[in-house]
Amino acid sequence: MAVAQVPRNFKLLAELEKGEKGMGAGACSYGLEDPEDIFMTHWTGTIWGPPHGQHENRIYELKMECGPNYPREPPLIHFVSQINLPGVNQTDGKVDRNAVAVLRDWTRIANELAKNPRPKEDPLSLEAALIAIRKYMEEHKKLPQPPEGSKYAMYK
Amino acid sequence: MAETSETGSDVQITFKVKSASDKIHIITISEASTVLDLKNKLAGADYEDIPAERQRLIYSGRVMKNDDALSVYKIKNQNTIHMVKSAASNPAPTNTSTSSAPTPQAIPQNMAAGASANNLLAGLTGARFAGHASLPSRDLFGADGGMGAPPSEDAIASMLSNPAVAQSMNEALNNPAFVDHIIQSNPMLANMPNAREMLQSPYFREMMTNPEAMRMAARMRRMMAPQGSGGGFPAPGVTDSTPASAATGDSAAAQNPFAAFGLPGGAGGAAGANPFASMFGGANPFGIPPPAAGTGAGAGAATPPASNQTGAAADRSATAQAGNTAQQPPNPFAALFGAAPPQGAQSPAAQNPFGLPPMSPEALQQMMQMFGGMGSPTAAAPAAPADTRPPEERYADQLRQLNEMGFYDFDRNIAALRRSGGSVQGAIEHLLGGS
């Protein structure tokens, strides 16, 4: 049985509002790269480095791309700030979706959500992805990191 | 909060600034002022009291640059800017609330983390064993890293057929500290004068390293099942506590897996707690079932309710299966009890050619898990009481999480959580895979 998905744009609008109003968990922030982007495809995000490790007191910038099939398909996520983290491409900062649980299981969870009524707290969102990446960073907090503020060449 | 901006001629915007300590300031300022202006304003003692150069402001995923005018960021009224303190010379401990703060120092550095206070496997994970290619692979522990049900008998058997495992097990048993730990961690063993010899005897090693022995133990366990089918006594690590198993041997096994060790000298209570009693019941030519032993006092007093319960279970199976067990032709453990079973029920140790107590399958599995290096918490702490709460209470947290992910079928959720031993991840796998 196919229950209609919440249309992409409604969902992204809700996410945008949540991001701009800062209603999230407060360990990350996100918004449209260009506030005039009516398709809401390109997003920027920041993750505040998890404490007690190399990431402490750093801010990591990311780019996120929500394709036409979002939220059935996960966003494409790139680090803009250089980061030494397994699963992050060291040329363009791309986050391997297999490295982060919520990205890896995204399609599966989306299918399950399509069968059931939508839960109050949406498990699939840009914020959920950022939080998951932050948690993943925390698991690797001991890795030495490039100087703060350095960015991948293609974003300079 | 009617703050007037320095320009005043321009469009005013009002927004919130949320600091790392979750304080929220409402700011009204001209859109033409720069980010630095805003920082200077926030640096004031009535706001954050943090120097401007150490503030970082983030709006909608973007780090705001000092020279930009606020208008660049198209901040809408009532939206929120986040403020984060930067690292530069940051000795002040005033601001630590950015997120949960686990203290890394508190985590033990070896693999025994979380197992037991008195250093369960430090000896095994120390430098001495570095490079031993013996640590079992991750697969052995299943999807949830050993938090779920213990490995199947086949998995254990295949692990044991690996010579490296046998070797490291021998190493472990040669390590007096490890043997000490096993003895200390179990009141039954601690009270046993010759526990050390037992653990270090070649016979015991044979048991621990022989895959066939494991298979036999599993077969035995099935035979011992009170109803003649099903799981019998669950192993200590088993978390799949369906009501049936919880009702029978679960608590006994969980409270003291070694309770099933018969004590040499044939202490009454221990004999009662010994699942092998039913064997003797079946094979006893005098036809005397061993209930008296089941109620006897003695060393079993260490865990009186447990041994009584097990004793009762053994009784039942003894009567129910008296014929059955006797007729099982290849009784794998018959040899353990010597050639003459007649007085077996009274003094098993006397019959034992090695002078060793019989091993129960639970004990074997317990040992397996210890040697696996990552026994589940219940296995590592044999004294933990069995969880008898109803599943909806026990899994309340996990159920809530599943609900949030959109799994609403209560019965299926419970069933899946049971299978995964309470792991949400495992339950999801099951729900998605099995649907």
* β-strand partners of A63: A44, A78
Contacts of B404 (CB under 8 A, 6+ apart): A119, A120, A121, A123
User: End-to-end alpha-carbon separation of chain A, Å?
Assistant: 48
pLDDT recorded at residue B280: 42
Cα separation, B331 vs B274, in Å, equals 17
Cα separation, B54 vs B264, in Å, equals 72
Note whether B60 contacts A: Cβ–Cβ < 8 A. yes
CATH of B12-85, one of 3.40.50.300, 3.30.200.20, 3.60.15.10, 3.10.20.90: 3.10.20.90
Neighbours of B183 (CB within 10 A): 18
Of B95-109, B152-166, B354-368, the range with the lowest mean pLDDT is B95-109
Residue type, A147: P
Res. B379: pLDDT tops 90: no
Neighbours of B84 (CB within 10 A): 25
Taking CA atoms, B323 is separated from B283, B287, B319, in Å, by 8, 11, 8
Question: On the CB side of B194, how many CA atoms lie within 13 Å of its CA?
Answer: 14
pLDDT recorded at residue B54: 85
Does residue B24 sit in helix, strand or coil? strand
- CA B144 from centre of chain: 10
Contact A44 B22 (CB under 8 A): no
Cα separation, B173 vs B180, in Å, equals 10
Cα separation, B38 vs B30, in Å, equals 10
CATH of A8-155, one of 1.10.10.60, 3.10.110.10, 3.40.50.2300, 1.10.3720.10: 3.10.110.10
| Confidence tier at B322 by pLDDT (50, 70, 90) | very low
* CATH fold for domain B391-434: Helicase, Ruva Protein; domain 3 (1.10.8)
Note whether A73 contacts B: Cβ–Cβ < 8 A. no
pLDDT recorded at residue A118: 66
- Sheet containing strand B62-63, edge to edge, reads B24-30, B12-18, B80-85, B55-59, B62-63
- Of B277, B279, B281, B280, the C-alpha closest to B289 is B281
Contacts of B122 (CB under 8 A, 6+ apart): B110, B112, B177
Q: Which residue has the tokens 């997003």?
A: A43
Question: Which residues in chain A have Cβ-Cβ distances shorter than 8 Å to B104?
Answer: 52-53
Q: Flag residues of chain A having pLDDT under 50.
A: 1-4
Question: Which residues in chain A have Cβ-Cβ distances shorter than 8 Å to B84?
Answer: 48, 57, 59
Nearest CA in chain B to A30: B61
pLDDT recorded at residue A51: 87
Residues B171-183, mean pLDDT to the nearest whole number = 75
Q: How do residues B284-296 score in pLDDT, each as one tens digit?
A: 444 344 443 333 3
Tell me the range of A22-36, B218-232, B314-328 where mean pLDDT is highest: A22-36
Cα separation, B58 vs B81, in Å, equals 6
pLDDT top residue among B432 and B196: B432
Phi and psi for B126 in degrees, rounded to 5? -70, 180
- Of A35, A37, A56, A34, the C-alpha closest to A47 is A56
pLDDT recorded at residue B293: 38
Nearest CA in chain B to A63: B61
Indicate the residue of A22, A35, A61 with minimum beta-carbon distance to B63. A61
Long-range contacts of A20-25 (CB under 8 A, 24+ apart): A20/B59, A20/B60, A20/B76, A20/B79, A20/B80, A21/B78, A21/B79, A21/B80, A22/B16, A22/B18, A22/B79, A22/B80, A22/B81, A22/B82, A23/B80, A24/A127, A25/A127, A25/A131
Note whether B15 contacts A: Cβ–Cβ < 8 A. no
Contacts of B316 (CB under 8 A, 6+ apart): B226
CA torsion A78→A82→A88→A93, rounded to 10°? Answer: 40
The radius of gyration computed from the CA coordinates of chain B, to the nearest angstrom, equals 31
Phi and psi for A52 in degrees, rounded to 5? 60, 55
| Confidence tier at B132 by pLDDT (50, 70, 90) | very low
Q: Which residue has the tokens 């003459």?
A: B340
Question: On the CB side of B352, how many CA atoms lie within 13 Å of its CA?
Answer: 22
pLDDT recorded at residue B279: 42
In chain B, domain spans: 12-85, 122-380, 391-434
Contact A29 B18 (CB under 8 A): no
- Min Cα distance B418 → chain A (Å) is 20
In chain A, domain spans: 8-155
pLDDT top residue among B314 and B42: B42
Question: On the CB side of B19, how many CA atoms lie within 13 Å of its CA?
Answer: 20
Res. B421: pLDDT tops 50: yes
Nearest CA in chain B to A22: B80
Taking CA atoms, B168 is separated from B116, B132, B373, B391, in Å, by 21, 8, 11, 39
Q: Is residue B12 within a helix (H) or strand (E), and if so which, with residue range?
A: strand B12-18
- Min Cα distance B433 → chain A (Å) is 10
Note whether A19 contacts B: Cβ–Cβ < 8 A. yes
Percent of chain B's residues with pLDDT above 90: 1
Question: On the CB side of B116, how many CA atoms lie within 13 Å of its CA?
Answer: 23
Nearest CA in chain B to A36: B74
Work out the mean pLDDT of chain B and round it to a whole number: 60
Q: How do residues B63-115 score in pLDDT, each as one tens digit?
A: 898 988 888 888 888 888 988 887 654 433 333 333 444 444 444 444 444 44
Cα separation, A69 vs B330, in Å, equals 63
pLDDT recorded at residue B349: 39
Note whether B402 contacts A: Cβ–Cβ < 8 A. no
Question: Which residues in chain A have Cβ-Cβ distances shorter than 8 Å to B61?
Answer: 19, 29-31, 43-46, 61-62
A59: left (phi over 0), alpha (psi -120 to 50) or beta: beta
Note whether B86 contacts A: Cβ–Cβ < 8 A. yes
Size of interface A-B (CB pairs under 8 A): 103
Nearest CA in chain B to A53: B104
Note whether B56 contacts A: Cβ–Cβ < 8 A. yes
pLDDT top residue among B308 and B403: B403
Say if residues A55 and A49 touch (Cβ distance below 8 Å): yes
- Sheet containing strand A42-48, edge to edge, reads A28-32, A42-48, A59-65, A76-79
Note whether B90 contacts A: Cβ–Cβ < 8 A. yes
Q: Do domains B12-85 and B391-434 have the same CATH topology?
A: no
